[in-house]
Structure 1
Amino acid sequence: MTVLIGLDVGTTGVRMECYTVEGEVISSGRAPIERQETDHWLEAIECAARSAVTDRVAGDPEKLLTIQSTSGTAILIDEYGRPVFPPQMYYERAAQEAEELSRLPSARELSEKGETLSATSPLPKIIRLRRSSPEAFRKVRWILSPTTWLLYRLHLPEGERWVNIETDWTNALKFGEDITLERPDWFKPIFMDSDVPLQLLPEIVECGAYIGEAESSFASKIGVGKAKLYQGMTDGNAAALAIGCFETADFGFTCGTTTAIKYVSREMKPNRAIYYHKHPFKGYLAGAAPVTAGVLEWFAKKILGISVAEAMELAQPIEAGEEPIYFPQGDRSPFYDANLGASMIKIWPDEISDVRARGRLIRAIVTGLTLFEDSYIQLFEQLFPEKISEVRITGGGSKTKWWNQLRATIYQRPVKVVEERPGIGALIPVVMKEKIYGTLREAERNLIKVLSIEHPGEIPKAYVEMREKFMERWRLIQQAST
């Protein structure tokens, strides 16, 4: 029997799940990540593996394993794979260095190729480390993503020099990759201008490319010794495959603290509100990763002192148009404005119950987030000729039925809720490379599970106006906030 092992290493925790090729879940494990340090990542993986790697899994001779993890985090290691600095997390900022980079012609040229460098990009933080700690920086041999570092941590025996390291092209993007080439490669001018040696970067290869067997003692310790290892993906791109974004105009997103929006396009059309990855199979994955539902959780817990589930119960009975109008923060997509916080307009101190007043505020956030999601449907249909026929969603923000019904109504499209299956997205290029399935749709039938479908109702008049004016009003708020 062949066992497929998917390892998802996120910001707050690790999820490990083992599947048969028919998509049956054999076993799974989860563990929190206490601190953003590589030792803590390994401890969390070991903890998750105690439940996931059962005797049945450990004893199977054919184990295929890959990893998906955060995009834009940088691990700077020495020649033996040992971290020289703490992980440079994707959410950390190096504003001064980013400002300097933005003035370079090469940075503008890279932006035209689909990747805009910002304060949270890896390169500004790498430059800051080189300047602030030159002695330590001289020990750096490789600059890797978490996905790549973890895969080679499983692959190479401890104490062996790390040579001929490769990375997948989704994890390479935010470091400074040119995906307009037939075979993606590093955009050399930006590294020359920023004085970051190209030899510190791995060779870029396809998602799902074979690496080798898991030969480290750590791999044996967690029960995956001799497993076949394959190049992984960023979590956002893996999530796109995990909901079935394979063909042109397929669209969907993972909704959580951050909304990972993905659309399959034939070509690249630069737009500040989106970035592009090369699709593992054909075309491109156009996307965005705005911070969204984090405010919903913050507002429920910090302002109202209740759980998100309780907040959603308060919001459900509110009539369309009764709520204020909410606009998410704009420090990431679509504005990249560090000063644009979340805002709410049309708040009226009506004589209503406390419960209804609180429900209105939560409903405003939910409606605003839904209108924001819808704005990307409109944007992609403006940029590309193909129409989006349905929307696929997964993640924690997809578990409330009435919100999904609201989504279908505002989008005026069916909404398919897909089961969240850790590691499945990154495994799809692997199973296709190994010819386990003949077509992508066969892989989809076996590995991707649709939980429910919500169909659109008639859109309320209040939401028609809100939908039409949402982006225009948001831009005016941005102008007022500067």
Structure 2
Amino acid sequence: MSLYVGLDVGTQSVKLVAYDPDARQVAATSGHALELAAGDDGSREQRAEWWIEAIRSCFAQLDPALRERVVAIGVSGQQHGFVPLDRDGNVLAPAKLWCDTSTAAECDLIMDAVGGAARSIELAGNPILVGYTASKLPWTRIHRSQAYAQLASIMLPHDYVNFWLTGERWMECGDASGTGWLDVRNRHWSEEMLRATDPDRDLGALLPPLVEADATFPIAAHIADALGLPRNVRVSAGGGDNMMAAIGTGNVTQGVLSMSLGTSGTLFAYSDRAMVDDAGRWAAFCDSTGGWLPLICTMNCTVATEAVGKLCSFSTKEGDALLAGTRPGAEGLLMLPFLNGERTPNLPNGRGSLFGMTATNFTVANLYRAAMEGAVYSLKNGYDAFVDAGMRFEAIRLTGGGSHSAVWRQMVADVFGLPVDVPEQAEGAAFGAALQALWATTRAQGGNADLAALAAAHVRLEPRLSAHPHAEATAAYAAQYARFLSHLDAIRPLYA
């Protein structure tokens, strides 16, 4: 009768999944939309209280009888965000998010301070890319000097939610990888990268302690009462949304490739060793199981399709029907969908571009298809780096909002030339957080739970949503992808 709750604090919404492991089914789901404050300078921010209000709303939507059955909570949070707190635990400023590109210049300043991008990779396993937490500190020091002067705790979004739930500070290595400060090979903070960010302040003293992936903490009594939960609920270590989506899609053993189609697009795989690339072609992150998670992230996925839908006054829920009469390649219409700047490829100052318009192909349907294709081509560009490094995969497990679309699923299968499978639980991050809470709680109670076996038992695929590549479409996409790469090379100097 026990329920395990996964909370996914995303960019667009907070989602809650209440999972019953004995029945092997989700007992309830709920969600609450979030606002996003966007600026012309590339800033993307949210207020931490918006997350808390959304979490309260999600629990309020659950039947009280279900809330009484909750034994543990796992939190998944959007990576890279910066939540500044004073010594009393008060939030000092809006949280700058993963998709914030206003700190691009600060990325270079930090890397220059240690001797360049190659030296950053040598020290920590990753360069400081746009959106990473590290770059937000010097930006805050300059633009929000009063907040920086009062800064006593550096938290990521998932850390802050955990702090609100329990009153305790901690960070786990998966999410910590996205700061740019963690030495991912050895799972400890890089003193050199911290000093490069601020040579006059001990930033390490402001960071929460690192904990193991299976750690759990008691919920604060007053929070349990406010949410209508038992006071003995435990909160697991949680992690970044990509780390939780890896668990939620069963990507906890080698050979599985997961793709998340949300506001951002991500590709990630499990590794039992640190997968560091000397050229920094992918993010060499830790995961939230004790292993590692080589990851490709693009900043413009459903961002692009939703922008077209808004421009042309239709809902993306109508997108599949709109594309019924279109063909792979959008009749030559090609979009580089870098509306938020881009991380893969690394063009933080990039902007969206549209090529190949003619009097006959410039239709709403082709424009929508070009946005969707461009988002998938960006991910294919990252995937090629995985393949160049010798990684091999037999199928893709798809999660996120895009996995609900039959056109997205078939397009991914055709562009990558791989079968696509979709787990029954499409919200992989929230479900993964619930499974991590189950795993951590079982271990805390003395059980010798194996996460790979647990994922194999609880992550089930939905065969009706599978897609297989069609040779003719794969060939058409390959020609358009080649054009994508050539246009990408052409515009790089414009946004260097």
Same fold (TM over 0.5): yes
Asked if the contact 2:170–2:211 (Cα under 8 Å) also holds between the matched residues in 1, the reply is yes
Q: TM-score, normalised by structure 2?
A: 0.85
Aligned match for 1:169, one of 139, 160, 173: 173
Asked if the contact 2:173–2:287 (Cα under 8 Å) also holds between the matched residues in 1, the reply is no
Asked if the contact 2:344–2:378 (Cα under 8 Å) also holds between the matched residues in 1, the reply is no
Q: Render the CA deviation track for 1:172-225: whole Å, top value 9, x for unaligned.
A: 12323334443x111111222323412111111222312x21124133201233
Q: Render the CA deviation track for 1:424-463: whole Å, top value 9, x for unaligned.
A: 2123343333247854454234432322211122134433
Matches of 1:244 and 1:394, distance apart in 2:
11
Asked if the contact 1:78–1:142 (Cα under 8 Å) also holds between the matched residues in 2, the reply is yes
Number of the residue aligned with 1:432: 439
Number of the residue aligned with 2:42: none
Number of the residue aligned with 1:110: 120
Q: Render the CA deviation track for 1:210-268: whole Å, top value 9, x for unaligned.
A: 2x211241332012333111111111221122112122231121102211221224432
Aligned match for 1:128, one of 129, 136, 139: 139
Structure 1 residues 480 and 29, CA gap change in structure 2 (3 angstroms): closer
Number of the residue aligned with 1:214: 219
Give the drift of 1:134. 4.9
**Which SS does the other structure have where 1:289 is aligned?**
strand
**Which SS does the other structure have where 2:255 is aligned?**
coil
Matches of 2:476 and 2:33, distance apart in 1:
42
Asked if the contact 2:181–2:194 (Cα under 8 Å) also holds between the matched residues in 1, the reply is no
**Which SS does the other structure have where 1:459 is aligned?**
helix
User: Do structure 1's residue 300 and structure 2's residue 306 form an aligned pair?
Assistant: no
**Which SS does the other structure have where 1:454 is aligned?**
coil
1:13-412 alignment to 2 at 5 Å? 13-22=13-22, 23-34=24-35, 36-52=46-62, 54-60=63-69, 63-92=71-100, 93-105=102-114, 108=117, 109-112=119-122, 113-132=124-143, 134=145, 136-156=147-167, 165-182=169-186, 184-193=187-196, 194-195=198-199, 196-197=201-202, 198-210=204-216, 212-224=217-229, 225-265=231-271, 266=273, 267-281=275-289, 283-290=291-298, 291-302=300-311, 304-321=312-329, 322-329=331-338, 331-350=341-360, 357-384=363-390, 386-412=391-417
Structure 1 residues 339 and 424, CA gap change in structure 2 (3 angstroms): same
- The amino acid across from 2:21 in the alignment is V
Give the drift of 1:292. 2.2
Give the drift of 1:467. 3.7
Asked if the contact 1:107–1:190 (Cα under 8 Å) also holds between the matched residues in 2, the reply is no
Q: Render the CA deviation track for 1:52-71: whole Å, top value 9, x for unaligned.
A: 3x3333333x6011211111
1:410-449 alignment to 2 at 5 Å? 410-418=415-423, 419-421=425-427, 423-433=430-440, 434-435=442-443, 438-449=449-460
Give the drift of 1:31. 1.8
Q: Which runs of 5+ in 1 are unaligned?
A: 157-161
Structure 1 residues 346 and 172, CA gap change in structure 2 (3 angstroms): same
Using CA pairs below 8 Å that are at least 6 residues apart, which structure has the higher relative contact order?
2
**Which SS does the other structure have where 2:471 is aligned?**
coil
**Which SS does the other structure have where 1:450 is aligned?**
coil
Work out which of the two has the higher radius of gyration on C-alpha atoms and give 1 or 2. 1
- The amino acid across from 1:453 in the alignment is S
Asked if the contact 2:74–2:436 (Cα under 8 Å) also holds between the matched residues in 1, the reply is no
Give the drift of 1:24. 1.6
- The amino acid across from 2:29 in the alignment is S
Structure 1 residues 155 and 274, CA gap change in structure 2 (3 angstroms): same
Matches of 1:432 and 1:279, distance apart in 2:
15
Percent of aligned pairs sharing the same letter: 19
Asked if the contact 1:76–1:87 (Cα under 8 Å) also holds between the matched residues in 2, the reply is yes
Matches of 2:235 and 2:111, distance apart in 1:
37
Give the drift of 1:168. 0.8
Matches of 2:214 and 2:115, distance apart in 1:
30
Q: TM-score, normalised by structure 1?
A: 0.88
**Which SS does the other structure have where 2:75 is aligned?**
strand
Matches of 1:475 and 1:260, distance apart in 2:
22
Structure 1 residues 214 and 395, CA gap change in structure 2 (3 angstroms): same
Q: Number of residue pairs matched?
A: 465
Aligned match for 1:458, one of 456, 471, 477: 471
Matches of 1:76 and 1:340, distance apart in 2:
28
Structure 1 residues 339 and 180, CA gap change in structure 2 (3 angstroms): closer
4+ aligned runs moved over 4 Å, structure 1: 131-136, 435-438
Matches of 1:121 and 1:407, distance apart in 2:
27
